[in-house]
A = this chain, B = another copy of it.
Amino acid sequence: MARTVLVTGLGLMGGSLAAALSAAGWTVLLHHRRKEVADKAEALGYGRAIGDFAEAATADIAVVCTPVASIPQVARTIAAATASAKKPPVITDIGSTKGALCADLADLGGRFVGSHPMAGSHLQGLEHADARLYQGRVAIITPTPATPAAATAVVEDLWHGAGCRLIRLDPDQHDRLVAEASHLPHVLAAVAAMNLSASAAPLAAGGFRDTTRVAAGSPEIWSEILLANHGAVLLTIAWAQKRLDDLRAALQAGDQDTIARWLAAGGAGRARFEAAQPPAAASLQPRASPPE
């Protein structure tokens, strides 16, 4: 169902969301801290630039696409600027952690519902916005017992409009699962990359290329993500260290059966991943190699 949306923070993620919703027939209001960025998005055909959140009082929903650290303040500013509207917009975000954020914004009552679309790119900025960025991806939404059903429905419309599949999770559960699916792999890719000496670099091949690809990501963005989810990330790092302890013991004992079982547990995790990928979304992804 097409509606009216405010998108604030017009980088790659916000710009792509505006492009996707605009293409899906939504009325899109474009806002950015620097108004000229919103004007540029308007020139690209992604919607209509506005200079003040008060102009978004008629929107059904506002999506905060700013850096993680500023989400609470921007959400509160939108809530205040639109509080006198007959039907103030629901507010959501695209931040990659949800527990602390949803707890922080609980005082907005049912107006704030957390979102986390599992999409992204190593590219940044409005100039790389792509209406297909969210197509076929999972969007997690994190309503709480205090969220009215109508607010949840509007957020679901939003992500369906952008082409996403939806998963509903409790905010804290979201953070634990995302640590497993995204944050720990990022940390381990960085460890693999930082331990490659210049002498070893000519020996690295396709396996190294894939394993460490995400290590090229922005240290600024990722330090913010890891810190925002530090509780769950610390837990998964502790698990990882325990697994490495187990492997060390087996290597020291020369116990090939245990090492093979340890490696097979990795294969089983990979199989859980493959089994959870919908065929359509899988075919959208370029593959690093023929299917395993």
Mark A residues whose CB is within 8 Å of B: 118-119, 122-123, 137-138, 140, 167, 173, 176-178, 180-182, 184-217, 219-220, 222-224, 226-227, 230, 233-234, 236-241, 243-244, 247-248, 251-252, 254, 256-257, 259-273, 275-276, 285-290, 292
Residue of B nearest to A276 (CB): B201
List, in ascending order, chain B residues with CB within 8 A of A252's CB.
230, 234
Contact B265–A190 (Cβ < 8 Å): yes
Q: Pick 25 A–B contacts, CB within 8 A, sort by A.
A: A167-B203, A177-B199, A178-B203, A180-B196, A180-B200, A181-B204, A182-B207, A186-B207, A188-B188, A189-B207, A195-B240, A197-B272, A198-B276, A209-B273, A212-B270, A213-B288, A213-B292, A219-B263, A226-B251, A226-B263, A227-B251, A234-B251, A234-B252, A241-B241, A286-B286
The answer on a CB contact under 8 Å between A287 and B289 is no
Q: How far is the CA of A124 from the CA of B266 in the complex (A)?
A: 19
Contact across chains for B200 and A185 when beta carbons are under 8 A apart: no
Q: Which of B178, B189, B204, B270 contacts A188 (CB 8 A)?
A: B189
**A273–B201 contact, CB under 8 A?**
yes
Given contacts A196-B181, A251-B234, contact A187 B244 (CB under 8 A): yes
Across the interface, name the chain B residue whose C-beta is closest to A215. Answer: B266
Complex contact B234–A203 (CB within 8 A): no
Q: Are B212 and A259 in contact (CB under 8 A)?
A: no
State the Cβ distance, A116 to closest chain B Cβ, in Å: 9
In the complex, which residue of chain B has the Cβ closest to the Cβ of A285? B206
A252 to B243, CA, bound (A): 21
**Further 11 A-B residue pairs, CB within 8 A, beyond A123-B290, A181-B201, A191-B243:** A137-B205, A182-B204, A191-B244, A193-B269, A196-B272, A213-B288, A215-B266, A219-B261, A230-B254, A286-B287, A286-B289
Flag if B215 contacts A267 (CB, 8 Å). Answer: yes
Min CB distance A271 to B, Å, is: 8
- Once A118-B205, A202-B138, A260-B219 are accepted as A-B contacts, the answer to whether A214 and B211 lie under 8 Å apart by CB is yes
**What CA separation (Å) do A213 and B267 show in the bound complex?**
9
Task: From B189, B199, B247, B288, give the contact of A266 (CB < 8 A).
Answer: B189
Q: How many angstroms between the C-alpha atoms of A273 and B197 in the bound complex?
A: 9
Chain B residues whose CB sits within 8 angstroms of the CB of A227 once the complex forms: 251, 254, 256, 259
Q: Is the CB of B273 within 8 A of A196?
A: yes
Q: Distance (Å) between the CB of A144 and the closest chain B CB?
A: 19
Q: Are A191 and B140 in contact (CB under 8 A)?
A: no
- Residues of chain B contacted by A226 (CB below 8 angstroms): 247, 251, 259, 263
